[in-house]
Structures are given as C-alpha cells and as structure tokens.
Structure 1
Amino acid sequence: MTTPRPVGITVHQQSKQLEVGFDDGTTYAIAFELMRVYSPSAEVQGHGPGQEVLQTGKRDVGIVDIAAVGHYAVQPTFTDGHDSGIFTWEYLHFLGSRQDELWREYEAKLQQAGVDRDAPMPTAGGHACGGHH
C-alpha cells in the first residue's frame, strides 16, 4: 500500500493548524496541539511502550518553523522549543485521518492521569516519572 504523498503543506498561524493536502485527494487540517501532543519524538513517546510522556498545556502552541526532512517528512519547531519530532507523510496522514479518535484518546489519558489539558508541563530537568502513591 503506498502512502499518499503531500502535494501542499500550509501553516495557518491564526487557526493554529497545519493544512496538508495529499495526492489521494484528501486534505487535513491538523491542530498544532495535536501534532505537539502526539509528536513522534523520543521526548514525547519515550523509549518504549508505556513510557510516553503525557503532554499538557499545549493548546496555544504554535509552529515557528517547519523544515523538510529528505522527501519523506517535515520537522516543525514549536513555540515551546520542541523540535525533535520528525513527522513522516505517513504519520501526518495518520494524524489527519484519525483526529477525532486521537483527541478522545488524549482526553482519556488526561482523565486517567488526573491532569488538566492546560496544566503546565513539569520543566525539563525535574524528570517527571510517575512515582508511587
């Protein structure tokens, strides 16, 4: 199965969305927040299942820069300084096509963790690994 390739990528600063048009005719507007929360970077995903770091306080995150990575991905720099996520065309298509599901999953994770979507992230350095209660 071939991955649809993007034919156009537009950063909408006002609505905080990345619009991606694919060659299969689909166009998705992916919220920066969703991209930031589901960033494929190790900083967010951890180094194995169950090590994901729940991201919060990203509702107002913006994208200051977006760089092409070869012919297969883009690497956005977010306003909170996060820039280690490499978003492949496949991953962007996944985020775009599954947005509703991903938002629900994110909200469920927040609820489960008992944190607010707008809670500030613990600052880097204070490594927040869920301690025992």
Structure 2
Amino acid sequence: MYQVTKLHYHTRQSRLDVYFDDGLTHTLSAEFLRVHSPSAEVQGHGPGQQQLVLNKQDVTISQIEPVGHYAVRLVFDDGHNSGLFSWQYLRKLSEQEDELWQLYQQRVSARHDVPIKFTP
C-alpha cells in the first residue's frame, strides 16, 4: 500500500504533482483527473456504467481537501467535488496514465461530434 506524502498543484499549468512514499513522483493534469474521477457520477454504480466526461480541457482544481490519512477530495472549478481520490487510486492513475488516456481518447473519438485534444 503506497502512501501519498505530498501534493502540489500548479495553478498556471493545471497540473497536480503527486509524491509517493517510495520516491515515485508523478504529474497529472486537472483534465485527466476530472475525466477519471472515482465518483459514481463518472464511474457509474457498476461495470459498464462509466460515463464519458467531455469538454474538460480547461477545468482546474479549485480546492484540495484531505480526507483522513488515505485520500483527498479534489474540487474542480466546474462544480464537481464528489470523487474521493484514495492514495491507491492516485497510484493507479500515475502508473497507468498513458494507457488510461489512450482509452479515453478512443472513447472520445468514437463520438464524431466531439473535437479531440491529445494532451494528457
């Protein structure tokens, strides 16, 4: 079980640095975090119910709220605040960012009416 030792948000770049207790540091964009929120609103309530979140290229994180010693609530400027990002989920996002972003882009491109932005 990995622990997050520090979070640092870069307001201008809308990117969150995540520092883990084993020395891994990873940077995730606010857009990536928003579209991969662990909330039921995004993930659904069961397999196959995941919602495709669109047009979050300019979203920012307005607040970072600690939740015990195991998670953080990220409040986004679009009003979304219901996802608790556990340390384990942040680790998964950090380790699988490229794969998850590619899958997200494939889902977006399957919708022909949505412009695609290719920067994670």
TM-score (ref. length: structure 1) = 0.83
For each residue in 1:25-82, what CA deviation from the matched residue of structure 2 results, as whole angstroms up to 9, or x when unmatched? Answer: 1000011111100100011011111111100110110011010111100001100000
> Aligned-pair distance for 1:14?
1.0
Which 4+ runs in 1 deviate beyond 6 A? none
Larger Rg: 1
Q: Could you tell me which residue of structure 2 aligns to residue 88 of structure 1? A: 86
User: Equivalent residues in 2 for 1:46-65 (5 A)?
Assistant: 46-65=44-63
Q: Given the alignment, which residue of 80, 97, 102 partners 2:100?
A: 102
Q: Given the alignment, which residue of 14, 22, 25 partners 1:24?
A: 22
RMSD of aligned Cα (Å) = 1.2
Cα distance between partner residues in 2 of 1:58 and 1:12:
17
| Residues 115, 71 of structure 1: alpha-carbon distance in 2 compared, 3 angstrom cutoff | farther
Q: Which runs of 5+ in 1 are unaligned?
A: 119-133
> Aligned-pair distance for 1:112?
2.2
User: Equivalent residues in 2 for 1:31-50 (5 A)?
Assistant: 31-50=29-48
Q: Could you tell me which residue of structure 2 aligns to residue 130 of structure 1? A: none
> Aligned-pair distance for 1:114?
3.0
Count of aligned positions: 116
Identity across matched positions, percent = 45
